[in-house]
Structure 1
Amino acid sequence: MTEDDTVDEEDLLTIGAFAARARLSAKALRLYDRLGLLAPAYVDEVSGYRYYRAAQTERARLVAMLRQLDMPLARIAEIVEAPDGAAAADRLTAYWTDVEARLAGQRTLAEYLRGRLSGRSSEMYGKFVVETVDVPEQVVITETRHVLAGELPAWIGESLGRLASGARECGGITAAPFVAYHSEVSLESDGPAESCVPVADEAAARAWVERQGRARDTKVRVEPAQRFAYTRITKAQVAHPQIVAAFEAVEQWIAAEGLEYAGPCREVYFADWEAAGPEDPVCDVAFPVK
């Protein structure tokens, strides 16, 4: 070991001795060092040997246990670098809340897939009443983005909020906002999706879009009068995979009626999302048909 006035050599443990104390492997300690989660207290400049302090044992064990939770490295760093134990506990609670929400969604998806694989799809689709509606021509201001499923809920709220704000300069909102899907949006496929708000004044809408520039791919267009096949769903059913079943129920109805698709499918949000309860109708899952 080289001379280093800032290091108390008597307080240092070799990587092997520290690994035994922390109940970890030397390989794991080297990994934690490489990831920036647990650096050695001292590295010999000549030999490259790593040395640790006994006081680092608790942090080493904490990192190892957090890794067992499949926690991303960035989240682990947030916890081990927290200013105090209370802050670290709060960060762990926030992470685990996210995990449980994801697991709940996966559990629901697994149940849905079991139903499909066991031939019970007709039971699931039978929960949705499909009807048709004629929608007149309308002017819409839009914002388009390539977005994955995990990013979709936040983007829908933000983009429709921006468009609703802009609609005040375009004669006001004339009908329910909607999101059109021009291609599949999933964990692997990013659409694109298009948020749309119908407005009253086409000329004012074109002027507003011109002022927005190209930052958010904002446009204005005139939608022709169309007929839609749709089913109405509750706030709880908007969650994945219930909403997938709603889309598939409408698709099955369209096929059974001998109709053809006439454009991209959409979600029409006609209710106040924040004020709605889980069982309140909030959205129409719709396909233009001919």
Structure 2
Amino acid sequence: MYLTCMSNTMIQNKIPIGRFSMITRLTCKALRLYDETGLLSPSAKDRFTGYRYYSLSQIERGVLIRSLVDLGFPLARINEMIDAKTSGDTEKMSQLLEDQRQRVSFEIDRLRSIDRLLERQKKEMFSMIIAEPKFKDIEPLRVLSLRDKGEYGEIITRLISRLCEFLGSPDLNASNFSVTGPFMTIYHDGEYREFDADVEVAVPVTGRLPDQIPGIEVKTIPGGRFASAIHKGPYQDVHESWGKLYEWAANQGYEPKTPCRDNYLNDPNDVPEEELLTELLIPV
């Protein structure tokens, strides 16, 4: 009887990878990946065949991983969540869940934008509305500026909101102060960056400003000669017009430089996406 019980225990604690996959609803391919990354390593491996075996005590971890995968957590965050759950750190777990909610919300907005773009492109078949490019000379500009790194859409929206919040503050109402031009974005990278783009948002100003503005810089950005074109339409397909402007400048014998910038000539709160106007500027 003792030998039978011991044999059953050994069998229960050597669950083949296929059966463990069925129990946890994690594919064998995923389990092999989790083994390589240390997220979920088998309790035993056959020395000769390399076949993986799992134990009963690992089922709970496997099921939790499956749940977190269903919630869209990336591998690194899954590890953090499991560590927090194991240590009973409910505050950390709550923060990780909230962070994931924000990522999901951003992804939903991104997919909705793609859906609108697809609908528009279905009607227009990739037609592009861009004013004829030209060269223009721009004087140096005194601006209020915020600069940070992140994903383009998120960081531009956040920095513009911060500047608008400041411009609407009561402290400025009585001062001899005014905005003299449109909001602009300045792209400091020499390449496209997915998640850590170096972006500056600025707005031209004149007049008296407070001596100290927390987090906001008052500076002068350089002028010079720029290749310019106006894109009409949603922000998410402005890359088409950027491509055309770069090509035009190169064909005129100029080497496009950095940082390029764009000016937002109207407000997305006031006009539909199809009527948005963005001036694209490339220093030459």
TM bin, normalised by shorter chain, reads 0.5 to 0.7
1:139-178 maps to which residues of 2 (within 5 A)? 139-145=142-148, 147-148=149-150, 151-167=151-167, 169=172, 171-178=177-184
State the alpha-carbon separation in 2 of the partners of residues 190 and 17 from structure 1: 42
Q: Matches of 2:181 and 2:81 in 1, distance apart?
A: 46
Residue number among 40, 51, 56 corresponding to 1:52 in the alignment: 56
What is the SS of the residue equivalent to 2:217?
A: strand
Alpha-carbon offset, residue 125 of structure 1 = 8.1
Counterpart selection for 1:129 from 122, 132, 135: 132
TM-score normalised to structure 1 length: 0.56
Partner Cα distance (2:246, 2:228) in 1: 9
In structure 2, do the counterparts of structure 1 residues 282 and 74 end up closer, same or farther at CA, with 3 Å as the change threshold? farther
Alpha-carbon shift at residue 99 of structure 1 (Å): 11
1:6 corresponds in structure 2 to none
Q: 1:251 offset after TM fit, Å?
A: 2.3
Residue 209 (structure 2) aligned to one of 204, 207, 211: 204
Could you give the per-residue CA deviations for residues 159-207 of structure 1, whole angstroms, max 9, x where no partner exists?
1222233345371322101011233252369553221111122x526x2
User: SS at 2:182's partner residue?
Assistant: coil
Can you give the 5+ residue segments of structure 1 that lack an aligned partner in the other structure? 1-8, 41-48, 82-86, 109-122
Are 1:101 and 2:101 counterparts? no
1:272 paired residue among 267, 270, 276: 267
- Counterpart-to-counterpart distance in 1, 2:31 and 2:251: 59
Q: Does 1:231 align with 2:226?
A: no
Q: Which runs of 5+ in 2 are unaligned?
A: 1-7, 44-52, 86-96, 119-125
Aligned-partner Cα distance in 2 for 1:274–1:77:
41
Q: 1:28 aligns with which of 20, 26, 31?
A: 31
Kindly state the Cα deviation for residue 131 of structure 1 after the two structures are TM-superposed: 3.5
Q: Give the secondary structure class of the aligned counterpart of 2:240.
A: helix
Change (3 A) 1:247 1:144: same
Percent identity among equivalent residues?
A: 19
Contact 1:132 1:230 in 2 (8 A): yes
> CA shift at 1:97, angstroms?
5.4
Aligned length: 233
Give the RMSD, CA atoms, in angstroms. Answer: 5.3
Whether the 8 Å contact between 2:190 and 2:258 is mirrored in structure 1 is no
Deviations 1:49-83 (A, max 9, x none): 964279859937x829948x9862366689999xx
Say which SS state the counterpart of residue 204 (structure 1) adopts.
coil
Asked whether the 8 Å contact 1:32–1:39 carries over to 2, the reply is: no
What amino acid sits opposite 1:153 in the alignment? Answer: G
CA distance in 1 between counterparts of 2:199 and 2:222 reads 19
Residues 178 and 197 of structure 1 are in contact (CA less than 8 Å); yes or no, is this contact kept in structure 2? yes
